[in-house]
Amino acid sequence: MARQRNQSVDTLRGLACLLLVALHVIGEAPEHGLRIADDHPLALFAELFFHLRMPLFAMLSGFVYGYRPAEPGGQLTFLRGKLGRLGLPYLFAATAFLIVNIVLAGPYALPAGEVYEAYLLPYAQFWFLQALLLIFAVMAAADTMFPRAPLAVAVGLFIVSALAFLSPFGQGIEALSFDRMLYLLPFFAFGLVLHRMQPEIPRTLIAVLLGGLIILFTLNALDVFADPARAISRRTAMALSLGVVFSGFLLVLRPRVAPLAWIGRFSFTIFLYHLFAVEALQWLYASAGRPPAYFGLAMGVTAGIACPIVFHLVVMRMGRWPARITLGLDPQSAKLEANVAMPWPAAPLR
């Protein structure tokens, strides 16, 4: 099958990147980011979409995994490939980010005796990659154990992971982001369910997702506006339900927005390196006396998206090893990561 970009997946990747960068620019608390109060409109916006960003990234990862799943006898090859694609760039980016923060006394600096935490515990945004590598190990085992029932594997994994998500199991286990792996796994599994249900996704499922989205988003908004300063919990029934219906509805909606899709082509690079630009701009922002928050948001999001894209384009022209170490890509095989084409357009819903 010919390899080409999947514009709907790239569109959602672009959307997830914008939300991720915007949250880090705004800050998760008044002492972070733009230093705005909990009831500021931008802070309320960040809270409203908190349960979409990482679930959407995870669900897209599960959906794309469905194109190239682990196969019997190929588990080690599959995992080596994931380590090369995710592990090398993670080690490079996390190390560079740690060094910059230590030298400049940044918010993510670690004492000399605790630098190991950047690699073994959740650190900045890099915890997502630790958790994702654990998920791929789980998927390699599940898919190779039951190769003749791929949809049943995905559905079963979603049910089991959703129950684990809502239970105390694994909570507080920070090693290799195990706790957060359990947070991401139901969304990854649901993305895989949607992939393996295609091309005939029932219209009833779409209607259920839309109805659930309207109800849950309304309830979440009421909570946010009632108590903007409340602590946000990741592993709750609201977080699970809203993440599943929000991300799932977007995935079955299949939006195609060219500017977002173009940004989405660089989503992994933006994910890895956006905080370098965001932190630099926040320092300049503070030095300038903190201009209006909306101006700061516009500048921060622009820098957080544009700088990693420029870095990506430059590194891809530097040769194979710089690209593999920093981006996990081989410029000889592709200038940008490609996905297998999705056969949805010609397939009716029922």
Per-residue pLDDT of 98-146, as tens digits, reads 999 999 888 899 998 999 999 999 999 999 999 999 999 999 999 988 8
Better-scored residue on pLDDT, 148 or 165? 165
pLDDT-based confidence at residue 62 (cuts at 50, 70, 90): very high
pLDDT-based confidence at residue 334 (cuts at 50, 70, 90): low
Average pLDDT, the chain: 87
- Distance between CA 330 and CA 320 in Å, rounded? 6
pTM of the model: 0.90
Q: What would the mean pLDDT of 271-290 be, rounded to a whole number? A: 83
| Tens-place pLDDT, residues 36-53 | 888 888 989 988 888 888
Q: What would the mean pLDDT of 11-33 be, rounded to a whole number? A: 87
| Tens-place pLDDT, residues 215-242 | 999 999 999 898 888 878 888 999 999 9
- Distance between CA 143 and CA 188 in Å, rounded? 14
Residue 48 makes CB contacts below 8 A (sequence gap 6+) with 217, 220, 221, 224
CA distances from 115 to 92, 98, 287 (A): 14, 8, 29
Residue 23 makes CB contacts below 8 A (sequence gap 6+) with 46, 49, 50, 53
The burial class, CB within 10 Å (0-12 / 13-18 / 19+), for 130 is buried
What pLDDT was estimated at residue 107? 84
Q: Which long-range contacts (CB under 8 A, 24 or more apart) does 168-176 make?
A: 171/235, 174/121, 174/122, 175/120, 175/121, 176/120, 176/121, 176/130, 176/131, 176/133, 176/134
For residues 275 and 104, is the Cβ–Cβ distance under 8 A? Answer: no
What pLDDT was estimated at residue 350? 33
Q: What would the mean pLDDT of 89-103 be, rounded to a whole number? A: 95
Better-scored residue on pLDDT, 215 or 75? 215
Q: What is the largest CA-CA distance in the chain?
A: 62
- Distance between CA 201 and CA 140 in Å, rounded? 25
- Distance between CA 22 and CA 304 in Å, rounded? 9
Tokens linked to 36: 């705005």
The helix or strand, by DSSP H or E, that contains position 3, with its residue range, turns out to be strand 3-4
What pLDDT was estimated at residue 6? 85
